Amino acid sequence: MGGSFLDLSQQSVMIVDDNRHMRALLCSIFRALKIKNLKEVGDGETALLEIEAFEPTLVVTDWHMEPMDGISLVKNIRHSASSSVKYVPIIMLTGHSDLHRVQEARDSGVHEFMAKPVAAKDLLKRLEAIVGHPRPFIENDSYFGPDRRRKNQGPPPGSSERRDAGGTASVASDDTLSPEQALAS
């Protein structure tokens, strides 16, 4: 795991999973990446109670938990009144990676989606994408979260594109892609 050029040591990670063995595995991976500031939480409700005080720079959450599942946790985070919370990058983990779940997780506002079992090298790739290449957030009537487009192909058809003084293009904040478009890009 030593191939990363990013210094991840200043990251603070909240791990939300009802399985203590999975939390321990994730903590081991993060410690190997030199991330020391870790918070383990066993369910979504507790995570919501503790997230503002902990101020994570990353949340890794399981999908299936009781009493609050990971999708509900993500939606609550994204609709938080606290800007330090609502913009936190989120990685969703699940044992079920069918297309419907990937789309639902993406549409709830996660940055990355990973199927269990989690490999350290794959987690590192996701961290490098989140930290090294952060995506802008999009907000409209039906979505708040990271831009779901993966490739820099310009704005979707019919969208308005603006350029700032430096010539950088930005897409109007009400532009989103359908699940089919997002997965294709």
What's the CATH code of the domain at 22? 3.40.50.2300
Lowest-confidence segment of 41-55, 121-135, 153-167, 170-184 by average pLDDT: 170-184
Same domain, 100 and 163: no
Same domain, 103 and 123: yes
What is the structure's pLDDT at 76? 96
Whole-model pTM above 0.85?
Answer: no
- CB 55 within 8 Å of CB 82: no
Cα dihedral sign for 92, 117, 119, 56? positive
SS3 115: strand
What is the structure's pLDDT at 5? 65
Same domain, 135 and 54: yes
Beta strand 144-146 pairing with 137-139:
antiparallel
Same domain, 79 and 134: yes
User: Does residue 119 sit within a domain?
Assistant: yes
SS3 77: helix
Find the domain containing 170 and state its range.
149-184
User: Does residue 5 sit within a domain?
Assistant: no
User: Does residue 118 sit within a domain?
Assistant: yes
User: Does residue 25 sit within a domain?
Assistant: yes
What is the structure's pLDDT at 39? 98
Same domain, 102 and 135: yes
Same domain, 58 and 92: yes
Give me the number of domains the chain comprises. 2
User: Does residue 6 sit within a domain?
Assistant: no
φ, ψ of residue 24 to 5 degrees: the values are: -65, -40
SS3 73: helix
User: Does residue 7 sit within a domain?
Assistant: no
Q: Which strand (E) or helix (H) includes residue 27? A: helix 20-32
Same domain, 56 and 97: yes
Residue partners of 141: CB distance under 8 A and separation at least 6: 174
Lowest-confidence segment of 10-19, 82-91, 96-105, 165-174 by average pLDDT: 165-174
- Bigger pLDDT: 150 vs 142: 142
SS3 72: helix
Same domain, 168 and 123: no
In one-letter notation, the amino acid at residue 179 is P
Does residue 57 register a pLDDT over 80? yes
**Helix, strand and coil percent figures for the chain, each rounded to 5:** 35, 20, 45
CA nearest to 37, candidates 45, 27, 49: 27
Q: Which strand (E) or helix (H) includes residue 13? A: strand 12-16
Same domain, 60 and 86: yes
Same domain, 123 and 164: no
